[in-house]
Amino acid sequence: MRKNSTKLIILAVIAIICMLLFAFYNIQGGFSYAFPKRLERLFAMVITGTAIAYATVAFQTVTHNRLLTPSVMGIDSMYEIVQTIIYFSLGSSSIFVVSRYLNFGVSIIAMVLFALVLYRFLFRADKHPIFLLLLAGMIIGTLLGSLVTFMQVIIDPVEYESLQARLFASFMNVKTELLFISAGIVILAFLYGTRILHKLDVMSLGRDNAINLGINYDKMVLRILILSSILIAVSTALVGPITFLGLIVSNLAYQYFATYKHWVLIVGASLISIIALVGGQFLVLHVFHLSTTISVIINFIGGLYFIYLLLKESRKAG
For 124-183, the pLDDT digits (tens) are 544 555 566 667 767 777 787 788 888 888 888 888 878 877 777 667 767 777 888 888
Average pLDDT, the chain: 82
The mean per-residue pLDDT over the stretch 93-104 comes to: 82
Evaluate if residue 87 carries a pLDDT over 90.
no
The pLDDT score that the predictor gives to residue 125 is 44
Q: Cite the DSSP H helix spans in the chain.
A: 2-24, 31-63, 75-89, 95-98, 100-122, 129-154, 157-167, 176-195, 197-203, 207-212, 217-239, 245-256, 262-286, 294-317
The pLDDT score that the predictor gives to residue 72 is 67
DSSP state of 71: G
For the chain, give the percent of residues with pLDDT over 70.
89
- Distance linking the first and last C-alpha atoms of the chain: 34
Task: Return the higher-pLDDT residue of 284 and 270.
Answer: 270
Q: 2 pLDDT band (50/70/90 cuts)?
A: low
The whole-model pTM stands at 0.86
Q: 286 pLDDT band (50/70/90 cuts)?
A: confident
d(CA 52, CA 228): 8
Domain coordinates in residue numbering, the chain: 1-19+35-313
Task: Return the higher-pLDDT residue of 176 and 20.
Answer: 20
Write the single-letter amino acid at 137: G
In CATH, what is the architecture of 1-19+35-313?
Orthogonal Bundle (1.10)
d(CA 96, CA 85): 11
The pLDDT score that the predictor gives to residue 316 is 67
Do residues 182 and 240 lie in contact, with contact meaning Cβ atoms separated by under 8 Å?
no
Evaluate if residue 95 carries a pLDDT over 70.
yes
